Amino acid sequence: MRTAHCSLQVALDFLAEHAKTKQLPFWLPVRRESIVPKVDHKGQAFATATAMCEFYKLDFTIVQQRLSVGWSLERSLTVPVQRKKSAYK
């Protein structure tokens, strides 16, 4: 257990040193802003993008995928999800 604590401390020291120079290592994950806005196509503002998706009864990941492939915001929010029919009945 001691080696895990030591390696964690080494990693924290490494990050603290790089934070001083403002250069973070390439392997450190960086959180990007979501491509889904918080204002819909009608101009109605929402607290979060997830709240907007819930208002339109869509999953956040569906809207995010639609926007990433080039759909407009209006089309992403208004086109219903097509459910695949099960092969088993």
Give the count of alpha carbons within 13 A of 81, CB side only. Answer: 14
For position 28, what pLDDT does the model report? 59
Q: Are 30 and 15 in contact (CB under 8 A)?
A: no
Per-residue pLDDT of the chain (89 residues; tens, 9 = 90+): 455 556 777 777 776 766 666 666 566 565 555 678 888 889 999 888 888 999 999 999 999 999 989 999 999 999 999 887 777 76
The DSSP line for 65-87 is HHHHTT--HHHHHHSPPPPPPPS
Q: Are 62 and 54 in contact (CB under 8 A)?
A: no
For position 13, what pLDDT does the model report? 76
